[in-house]
DNA sequence: TTATAAAAAATTGGATACAAAATGGCTTCC
DNA sequence: GGAAGCCATTTTGTATCCAATTTTTTATAA
């Protein structure tokens, strides 16, 4: 144990920093859809060589965040209405099934935690603190996801998609009634979990996410004025 | 018209050939799980530079077919029992939902085609031509998948996972009754589609794939003798 | 002015070169 | 004999270089 260095002196590879950076830029909306990404430009901007840039771009491509244009670099994927719809649809399938599984194993303790998150969100709602509502709602979902971490692929899929659509959800809550309905849904989910009824759980979660989908589509594609 | 070349003289990139090659090797079982893959060795073996090798390896990693070992290259992912179970579980979720969607839009013409595939499989079954049964069963599923090609992400997910587990399915049919049961299931699926009952469709497809899962697990982890 | 074609510029794909990190074996000391 | 430390080897990570391809620009002619 003398030779084992106590602290890990591993620098993360540059390609990963680049990947995280670009991903954050895209998901935050800082890089608009349609934006052209060329290897050399990125390399110069970020001060690294093209090699790690390329590897990051390929990874982003495989996740669908950017699209290759034959030999003309990449562009940031636009979110067409259809694509957004499909993302929410996928979420509803996967998280619906996840809740079915969870309903069969969840403990009283976790149920209590979930109840707490809902109450917190409800209080924040009364005070009209939208950010807080969002925070507690996120906590609610994250806690559920943790319960299926053993199903690694399902978990990864859900978390990835969720990250991807997160940017749409914040707006959603701002819509009149959006926050309240969201909290109501979570109550229903909790109830279904308490009943430990797998079919009901799956159906309710699907409905919940489909509802979020409608709100997201509304806020995305039917903005009153200056969009994009 | 002089400048426009009549035939596309696009060579596919080497990284894709490498990717396809390695993927095939892994899925066919030619590369055993646990096998070590180093960039340089692969480069020398395949006669290309490390660059396309790396890009292929990263892609395989993102699909879970190989795993990075800190700084010690990659190894071919083993399929633990849990992982195989989860793959089939995911398939059952996704394809179940896909069938639900399909049931609402499928045409009489396609229904006729599906019926044909089933009959072909049935005849092959009578003649004990396992390869043929497998072929027609695959055709049956592929035809269904084509119907959701518009939902690009769902389609890609399904096709990818299906490719991944394909290697287990061939064995499955060899099991006594495996082929017959499979064809019976397809008949049930067709019936549910004819009824255009979304709930029934989803449930039946899930059951069908869960059944295939059981067979695969049996053939994988309870082989009578010399395995691996 | 417009269309066409050739040349120039930009950009990716692949190969190679070099540096850093990790492992494995070897030596040495107790 | 065993353990600790050091050196050589292996292998990845990044940069740079060259070739191929595509786009854009420019020049020329109708």
Structure tokens given for A97: 């099934």
For residue A9, say whether its CB is under 7 Å from any atom of strand D: no
In this predicted model, what pLDDT tens digit does every residue of A69-78 receive, in sequence order? 877 889 998 7
User: Residues B137, B121: contact at Cβ < 8 Å?
Assistant: yes
Kindly state the DSSP code that residue B226 receives in the 8-state scheme: -
Q: How far: B65 CA to D23 C1' (Å)?
A: 38
Q: How far is the CA of B49 from the C1' of C17 (A)?
A: 13
Among B168, B147, B172, which residue's Cα sits nearest to residue B97? B147
Whether the CB of A18 is less than 7 Å away from nucleic strand D comes out as no
pLDDT tens, per residue, chain A with 228 residues: 333 333 334 578 899 999 999 999 988 888 888 899 999 999 999 999 999 999 999 999 988 899 998 778 899 987 778 888 999 999 999 999 999 999 999 999 999 999 999 999 999 999 988 889 889 999 999 999 999 999 999 999 999 898 888 777 656 656 667 788 889 999 999 999 999 999 999 999 999 999 888 888 887 776 544 333
Covered bases, chain C (protein CB within 7 Å): 4-5, 10-17, 21-23
pLDDT value for B124:
93
Closest-CA residue of chain A to B92: A97
- B163 contacts B27 by C-beta, under 8 angstroms: yes
CA Rg value for chain A: 20
Chain A residues in contact with B54 by the CB 8 A cut-off are: 55
Query: Quick check: A58 and B59 CB within 8 A?
Result: yes
Which pairs count as long-range contacts for A145-149, CB under 8 Å and 24+ apart, including other chains? A145/A98, A147/A98, A147/A102, A147/A105, A147/A106, A147/A110, A148/A98, A148/A101, A148/A102
A-B contacts at Cβ under 8 angstroms? 45
Give the pLDDT confidence score for residue A77 in this predicted structure: 87
Which residue has tokens 């491509």? A61
The answer to whether some atom of strand C lies closer than 7 Å to the beta carbon of A61 is no
> Is B216 a residue whose pLDDT tops 90?
no
Reported as a pLDDT band with limits 50, 70 and 90, residue B223 is low
Looking at residue B63, what is its pLDDT?
87
CA atoms within 13 A on the CB side of B221: 13
Strand D bases within 7 angstroms of protein beta carbons: 4-5, 10-17, 21-23
Top-ranked range on mean pLDDT: pick from A176-180, B26-30, B58-62, B171-175? B58-62
CB-nearest partner of B93 from A58, A94, A152: A94
Q: Which residue has the higher pLDDT, B221 or B197?
A: B197
> Is the model's pLDDT at B2 over the cut of 90?
no
Distance CA A181, CA A202 (A): 18
- Cβ contacts of A153 on chain B, cutoff 8 Å: 64, 83, 86-87, 90
Six token digits for residue B24:
């095939």
**Secondary structure E strands in chain B:** 36-37, 66-68, 74-76
Helices (H) and strands (E) in chain A, counts: 9, 3
Ordered domains of chain A (ranges, CATH): 14-76 (1.10.10.10), 81-221 (1.20.120.530)
In order of B26, B31, B49, B68, the CA distances from B44 in angstroms are 19, 17, 8, 20
Give the Cα separation of B114 and B141 in Å (integer): 9
Mean pLDDT for the stretch of residues B129-138: 90
């Amino acid at each position: 144990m003398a030779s084992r260095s106590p602290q890990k002196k591993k620098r993360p590879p540059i390609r990963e920093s680049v990947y995280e950076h670009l991903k954050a830029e895209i998901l935050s909306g800082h890089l608009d859809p349609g934006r052209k990404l060329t290897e050399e430009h990125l390399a110069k901007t970020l001060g690294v060589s093209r090699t790690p840039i390329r590897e990051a771009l390929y990874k982003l491509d495989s996740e669908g965040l950017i699209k290759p244009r034959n030999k003309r670099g990449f562009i940031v994927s636009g979110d067409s209405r259809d694509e957004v719809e499909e993302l929410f649809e996928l979420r509803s399938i996967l998280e619906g099934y996840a809740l079915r599984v969870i309903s069969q194993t969840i403990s009283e303790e976790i149920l209590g935690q979930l109840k707490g998150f809902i109450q917190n969100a409800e209080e924040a709602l009364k005070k009209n603190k939208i950010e807080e509502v969002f925070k507690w709602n996120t906590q609610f979902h994250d806690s559920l996801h943790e319960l299926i971490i053993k199903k690694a692929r399902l978990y990864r899929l859900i978390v990835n998609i969720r990250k991807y659509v997160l940017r749409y959800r914040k707006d959603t809550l701002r819509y009149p009634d959006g926050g309240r309905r969201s909290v109501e849904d979570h109550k229903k989910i909790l109830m279904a979990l308490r009943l430990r009824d797998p079919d009901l759980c799956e159906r309710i979660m699907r409905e919940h996410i489909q509802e979020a989908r409608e709100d997201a589509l509304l806020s995305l594609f039917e903005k009153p004025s200056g969009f994009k």
